[in-house]
């Protein structure tokens, strides 16, 4: 097979790695994208004319024009969970398979969430910044996690792991997810309004869909305690950013920690991240070696399954995969 790895060189280094590349090379010839500029749809069409499989990073959009223009293409394997910028309907119409990787970053993102909560509660970043400016910071009274309430919006795999850690910290745990019926005994399912009103830390872990677009908005922030913190490690689409900025500036909520936003590559925007009561990181929740390697190796495993004539475990439209044996 001929396999195109769509990652730029830096993304290939940070988000794929040599071990996964060696794994791919066991199943065919691997072709690399050598520019630091992400492939445009037109460039992807040019690069993949004779390609059987595309392994795509999260920056590589795969719209309908790609599927229309690549008669030899059998499958697109996303090295990520988020497949919103792949036109799956168009792929299906052309008999091309689309897959996604397992969420290998569960532990990594959960740990970042806990770190955010500690930092927000104790002012760690503020102290560090003062010392780096050769200033002696003023000690302030902090908050402890034990006995506080965390409210988790969306109760998937990351939320469950976060809840386990929060429980070990001695926190009260609320969750809102209209699609979940069963939780561990230490997690209380409530409606969204109750969660927002009772939580000291509101953690947004819902999946980004049309239903959850701007789920956190002016009304949502008004329901939160003035002393509460908002944490978003999921997707920027879940938050009406202008409303969050106003809530932070006028004291509607105490502060926020953000790993995602509406900037490039889902990073927090400078306007929001530069606020004094915001802790922001550039979309690094899953940027740890175990997390990155897990997703990269998952795509390798799926390429292996395809090479054996099997439907890979991450398939999203297998029923219409007419190019399977092409």
Q: What is the CATH number of the domain that holds 117?
A: 3.40.50.720
Sign, CA torsion 150/270/212/220: positive
Distance in angstroms (rounded) separating the CA atoms of residues 243 and 246? 5
Phi and psi at 75, nearest 5°, equal: -160, 150
Question: Looking at the structure, do residues 153 and 263 belong to the same domain, yes or no?
Answer: yes
Is 140 part of a structural domain of the chain?
Answer: yes
Q: What is the pLDDT of residues 97-116, one digit of tens each?
A: 999 999 889 999 999 999 99
Question: Looking at the structure, do residues 155 and 192 belong to the same domain, yes or no?
Answer: yes
Residues in the chain: 326
Q: What is the pLDDT of residues 18-76, one digit of tens each?
A: 999 999 999 999 999 999 999 999 999 999 999 999 999 988 999 999 999 999 999 99
Q: What is the pLDDT of residues 91-101, one digit of tens each?
A: 999 999 999 99
Is 326 part of a structural domain of the chain?
Answer: no
Domain count for the chain, please give it.
Answer: 2
Is 325 part of a structural domain of the chain?
Answer: no
Question: Looking at the structure, do residues 6 and 52 belong to the same domain, yes or no?
Answer: yes
Question: Looking at the structure, do residues 199 and 92 belong to the same domain, yes or no?
Answer: no
Q: Which residues contact 311 (CB under 8 A, 6 or more apart)?
A: 305, 318, 321, 324
192-203 burial: b if 16+ Cβ within 10 Å, else e: beebbebbbbbb
Is 142 part of a structural domain of the chain?
Answer: yes
Domain limits for position 7: 2-104+288-320
DSSP secondary structure string, 194-215? HHHHH-SEEEE----STTTTT-
Question: Looking at the structure, do residues 91 and 110 belong to the same domain, yes or no?
Answer: no
Question: Looking at the structure, do residues 209 and 250 belong to the same domain, yes or no?
Answer: yes
If you count DSSP H runs as helices and E runs as strands, how many of each does the chain have, helices first? 13, 12
Is 237 part of a structural domain of the chain?
Answer: yes
Count of CA atoms in the C-beta half-sphere (13 A) of 173: 21
Instruction: Determine what percent of the chain is predicted with pLDDT higher than 70.
Output: 100
């Amino acid at each position: 097979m001929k396999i195109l790895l769509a990652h730029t060189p830096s993304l290939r280094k940070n988000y794929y790695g040599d071990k996964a590349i060696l794994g791919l090379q066991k199943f065919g010839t691997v072709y690399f994208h050598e520019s630091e500029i992400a492939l445009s749809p037109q460039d992807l069409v040019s690069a993949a004319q004779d390609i059987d499989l595309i392994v795509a990073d999260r920056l590589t959009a795969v719209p309908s024009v790609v599927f229309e223009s690549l008669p030899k293409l059998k499958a697109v394997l996303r090295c990520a969970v988020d497949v919103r910028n792949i036109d799956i309907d168009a792929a299906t119409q052309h008999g091309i398979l689309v897959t996604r990787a397992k969420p290998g970053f569960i532990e990594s993102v959960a740990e970042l969430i806990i770190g955010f909560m500690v930092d927000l509660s104790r002012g760690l970043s503020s102290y560090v910044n003062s010392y780096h400016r050769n200033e002696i910071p003023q000690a302030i009274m902090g908050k402890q996690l034990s006995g506080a309430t965390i409210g988790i919006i969306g109760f998937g795999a990351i939320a469950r792991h976060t809840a386990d850690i929060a429980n070990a910290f001695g926190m009260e745990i609320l969750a809102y997810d209209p699609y979940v019926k069963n939780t561990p005994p230490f997690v209380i399912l409530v409606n969204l309004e109750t969660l927002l009103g009772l939580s000291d830390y509101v953690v947004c872990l819902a999946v980004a869909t049309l239903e959850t677009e701007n789920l956190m908005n002016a009304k949502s922030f008004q329901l939160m305690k003035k002393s509460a913190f908002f944490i978003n490690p999921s997707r920027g689409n879940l938050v009406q950013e202008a409303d969050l900025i106003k809530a932070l500036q006028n004291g509607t909520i105490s502060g926020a920690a953000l790993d995602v936003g509406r900037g490039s590559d889902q990073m927090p925007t400078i306007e929001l991240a530069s606020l004094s009561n915001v802790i922001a990181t550039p979309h690094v929740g899953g940027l740890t070696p175990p997390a990155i390697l897990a997703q990269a190796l998952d795509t390798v495993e799926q390429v292996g399954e395809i090479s054996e004539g099997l439907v890979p475990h991450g398939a999203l439209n297998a029923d219409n995969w007419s190019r399977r044996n092409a």
